[in-house]
Structure 1
Amino acid sequence: MLDIKHHGAVQGVTGSCHELFVDSDQSVLVDIGLFQGAETSGSGADSNSLEIDFDLSAVQALVITHVHIDHVGRLPYLLAAGFTGPIYCSKPSAALLPLVIEDALKVGVTRNASIIKACLDRLASQLVPLEYKEWTSIPLAGKGSSVQLRLCRAGHILGSAYVVFRVKNSEVKTQGKRYHDVVFSGDLGAPYSPLLCTPQSPYRADQLVLESTYGDRNHENRATRRKHLQQSLEHALSDSGTVLIPAFSIGRTQELLYELEHIIHQNKHKAVSQTRSGVSLNWEDIDIIIDSPLASRFTKVYLSLANYWDDEAKRRVSSGRHPLSFEQVTTIDDHATHLQTVSYLQRQTRPAIVIAASGMCAGGRIVNYLKALLGGERNDVLFVGYQAAGTPGRDILRFHDKPNGYVMFDGERYVINAKVQQISGYSAHAGQRDLLNFIKCMRVKPQKIHLVHGDDNAKRTLKGLIEMAHPECEVVVP
């Protein structure tokens, strides 16, 4: 087996970073993510630790599975530490990555335009966009070893990929072959996610690094979770309150827009709510507010990458529908309008749906909405994604039904009187069954599996199920 060091996503689901050693002197990094919430890395770095705390002398290249901040957030610090090698990712990810890094720099580092431009120029000079399913050779400094790279659709967000490395050196010989295939799952998506092609398992893997976010549970199917989304919204909107949906700017926001467009399309002229004056409102009358400049920019890039959408989405477009830019959507860009909207929703008697970042309520514009509206009984908070330990989102889920339940923002308590719901089926991650099927559908099964990117119970549960199904396979939890 080839040596793999795990620099993140070991004690939780953030900070993804793994180092595959091609030989004793040369390696390739997979992801360079930011730690979030209360999670720490195996090396003791806490959620505020951004500097690269491991040796980079062997690293020849970086491969990015997708552009979520917990997979790319420490990229500026990698560049600052002197990394000058190629940075590989899919072509859609290459279009989205500069937006993510620019925002990360503005929020966490500096708003100095010249510094941001210098970092983005440096990134552009090292970025190598790849098409899916094409083999690419990674240049190595030393002789005697070679490694090829292949990206395959992961179905998590647009541009997401799992990575296949084919390593050849004098020490590698697997089942009579002079190469060793190592697969890094990145974040795998659930089948039939909106806009995205369902991930297909690789033919073979000698070694597999597998995420385990939902290793202890399954998701509802697409039709069921859309039905639950509609029912949750109908219930929430029935008393003319505001529904707050914390969502990541990339991936989840676009997925929700896609599903909301379909719900409205299927329920035209059907009542969903009444104003306090007794006026009946139909689905097509509901205001949908996207309050995230970054989400707006991502959505524009998503629209420009429609050739990477799945067949269902392409059919909707060809029929004249606009899955991500329909008329009920209002996008808020500037901060002044954001504050005016928060104030308006505190006073209004007309139902509205607000989608704003961040997905775990750990920052971003959703915080101002929560501060203003959590105390109102007519309002709802609808979680559609994973809430990591130590984040305000997790606290809202834990304490909303407790007497005098509250959440802390900026050192102040905010009482939770709003109704709180969670639809786990809208996670962009594969469920337990999907993770097991990813292995099952490989024609040549891995001899060793590393479980990462999951809470302890998720990894423990998934490990037991894999060992039952594949007793010949060694399953390790780093």
Structure 2
Amino acid sequence: MSRLTFLGAVGEVTGSRYLLDVDGPSRPHRLLLECGLHQGGRELEGANAVPFGRLAGQLEAVVLSHGHLDHAGLLPKLVREGYRGPIHCTADTAELLEIMLVDAAFVMAKDLEWENRWRSRAGKPALEPLYDEDDVVRTLEQCEPHDYGRPVTLPGDVTLVFRDAGHILGSAIVELAIPSGGQRRRLVFSGDLGNPASALMKTPEKVHEADLVLMESTYGDRDHRPLPDTLEEFARVLDEAHADGGNVLIPAFAVGRTQEILYHLSVLYHEGRLHQQMVFLDSPMAIRVTELYARKHKALDPDDLRVLNVAAHGDPGQYLPILRLTRSVEESMAINRIHGGAIIIAGAGMCNGGRIVHHLRYNLERPSTRLVIVGFQARGTLGRQLVEGAERVRVLGEELAVKARVHTLGGFSAHAGQSELIGWAGAFRDHPRFYLVHGEPEAQRALQAALEEAGIQAEIPAYRQRIEL
């Protein structure tokens, strides 16, 4: 009998990882679905350092839903510890990984350099990185890209098919047909399901056949505000910041959220409603991803692109002329001399690192500043503290008073809300078993209750729980 073990994204949003022990025709096989980083505070992030042990040498294949680090960020560590098999993903995900993982290794090295200086002064041993750029190069060499809808045969006579999840470029719903107990069982993993109202992405595909479904529950406890209302609030916040003479800070994830925010700013600009004259995209990784999105316009929603009249030049500036791409550290530092009139988009999306932290240091104590939160903020992050109304926060070792106005615009989420999740789940025939993953406990319990009202039974798994397929 084939089995699945929950190794991550259980009772939390990040750290996606699921182990499949497959009852193959001649011998057992081990496959890994996802290999994500834990994000959100020291305790969670400490789990990233736990060795894979023998598993790295036992695995025969890895399957990846998409390129966000909480789903793919530990792949180079797995390779560093001995994994030499294929990494199956969509073609666009493979291109994103080249940007994401190189950046992750670079940031990790810089963070560790500062940490080890402190440890050296304290007489403590230096720490090793989870992985380095050489590990990333080997990881990318092991990626095997596939098109949506095309069956792929994996070890153990498992069949893999990717479906469009509508979340970010290349994101996929994973279908696996797995031998188990003399039958073939169909496992469907939602990955991260997109918000149908989001710009640029297509609507997530619905799947109808499954025996077992793993479904994300990030926003399982609520629906997002309607996008038109969110856009009006966004425009109002921008107007208020302009009137007050302040800057607008937008911590945004480099993949997906940044490109959507740029899209809406472009629409406002062409409608004559954007009063600011400077929009900074202050993230080398987000710049590269935005350029990739521009090149990959055929994979995006054609109706949204028609609004922008985007041609295939790969130049984001063609649809937002006031956009300035700040690649170097010096250019980023120069932004902090601007005390008002700028919109600054920078990572990290949860304010737990990256260039946004430096902009917070210079702007958070100004009442004229507007901080616009457009993505999920995990527990333990600076972003979560700000969303929850902290009056004082610690930034780069300095305690700051939060005088800026903080606005949370959930309508920009790239995740499906509760109603969309229930609708997606309701498309399955013959009542498959549902397990809720990728959610905090409150959101999971709320979604479980809402699904039950819709006639769908769902379980909430525990860490390391093993189930038979």
> If the TM-score is normalised by the length of the shorter chain, which range does it land in?
0.7 to 0.9
CA deviation string 1:368-390 (max 9, x = no partner): 00011100111111101111110
2:202 maps to: 197
2:63 maps to: 63
The alpha-carbon deviation at position 12 of structure 1 amounts to 1.0
C-alpha distance in 1, partners of 2:251/2:276?
22
For the residue of structure 2 that corresponds to 1:467, the secondary structure is helix
C-alpha distance in 1, partners of 2:47/2:266?
37
For the residue of structure 1 that corresponds to 2:435, the secondary structure is strand
1:176 maps to: none
Paired residues, number: 438
Question: Which of 358, 377, 380 is equivalent to 1:387?
Answer: 377
Pairing 1:37–2:37 present: no
Structure 1 residues 421 and 474, CA, compared in 2 at 3 Å: closer, same or farther? closer
For the residue of structure 2 that corresponds to 1:88, the secondary structure is strand
2:404 maps to: 418
CA deviation string 1:277-319 (max 9, x = no partner): xxxxxx2652111111111111111111111011213423557
Pairing 1:122–2:138 present: yes
What letter corresponds to residue 291 of structure 1 in structure 2? D
Question: Which of 417, 428, 441 is equivalent to 2:414?
Answer: 428
For the residue of structure 1 that corresponds to 2:193, the secondary structure is coil
Q: Percent of counterpart pairs with the same letter?
A: 34
1:339 maps to: 333
What letter corresponds to residue 331 of structure 1 in structure 2? L
C-alpha distance in 2, partners of 1:153/1:76?
25
Deviates more, 1:86-95 or 1:219-228: 219-228
2:10 maps to: 10
Contact 1:50–1:74 (Cα < 8 Å) also in 2: no
Contact 1:137–1:147 (Cα < 8 Å) also in 2: yes
C-alpha distance in 1, partners of 2:371/2:204?
31
C-alpha distance in 2, partners of 1:477/1:100?
29
Contact 2:370–2:405 (Cα < 8 Å) also in 1: yes
Contact 2:57–2:83 (Cα < 8 Å) also in 1: no
Pairing 1:407–2:393 present: yes
Pairing 1:477–2:461 present: yes
For the residue of structure 1 that corresponds to 2:187, the secondary structure is strand
Structure 1 residues 109 and 64, CA, compared in 2 at 3 Å: closer, same or farther? farther
2:148 maps to: 132
C-alpha distance in 1, partners of 2:229/2:279?
22
Unpaired segments ≥5 residues, structure 2: 114-130, 463-469
2:357 maps to: 367
Contact 2:448–2:458 (Cα < 8 Å) also in 1: no
The alpha-carbon deviation at position 53 of structure 1 amounts to 5.9
CA deviation string 1:177-204 (max 9, x = no partner): xx21101111111113111100021121
Unpaired segments ≥5 residues, structure 1: 174-178, 271-282
TM-score (norm 1): 0.86
Contact 1:245–1:356 (Cα < 8 Å) also in 2: yes
The alpha-carbon deviation at position 48 of structure 1 amounts to 5.4
Question: Which of 377, 381, 392 is equivalent to 2:367?
Answer: 377
Question: Which of 258, 265, 276 is equivalent to 2:270?
Answer: 265
Question: Which of 269, 275, 285 is equivalent to 1:294?
Answer: 285
Structure 1 residues 26 and 109, CA, compared in 2 at 3 Å: closer, same or farther? farther
C-alpha distance in 1, partners of 2:286/2:405?
25
Alignment of 1:49-198 (within 5 A): 49=49, 51-52=51-52, 55-56=55-56, 58-109=58-109, 118-138=134-154, 140=155, 145-169=156-180, 171-173=181-183, 179-198=184-203
C-alpha distance in 2, partners of 1:313/1:51?
44
For the residue of structure 2 that corresponds to 1:238, the secondary structure is helix
The alpha-carbon deviation at position 50 of structure 1 amounts to 5.6
TM-score (norm 2): 0.88
C-alpha distance in 1, partners of 2:407/2:421?
26
Question: Which of 233, 236, 245 is equivalent to 2:250?
Answer: 245
C-alpha distance in 2, partners of 1:320/1:101?
28
Q: Which runs of 4+ in 1 moved over 6 A?
A: 319-323
Alignment of 1:455-470 (within 5 A): 455-470=440-455
For the residue of structure 1 that corresponds to 2:240, the secondary structure is helix
C-alpha distance in 1, partners of 2:373/2:422?
26
Structure 1 residues 127 and 86, CA, compared in 2 at 3 Å: closer, same or farther? same
Structure with larger RCO (C-alpha < 8 A, sep 6+): 2
C-alpha distance in 2, partners of 1:332/1:190?
29
The alpha-carbon deviation at position 133 of structure 1 amounts to 1.0
C-alpha distance in 1, partners of 2:233/2:308?
25
C-alpha distance in 1, partners of 2:438/2:54?
19
For the residue of structure 2 that corresponds to 1:28, the secondary structure is strand
C-alpha distance in 2, partners of 1:39/1:477?
23
C-alpha distance in 2, partners of 1:304/1:18?
33
Deviates more, 1:17-26 or 1:314-323: 314-323
Deviates more, 1:307-316 or 1:433-442: 307-316
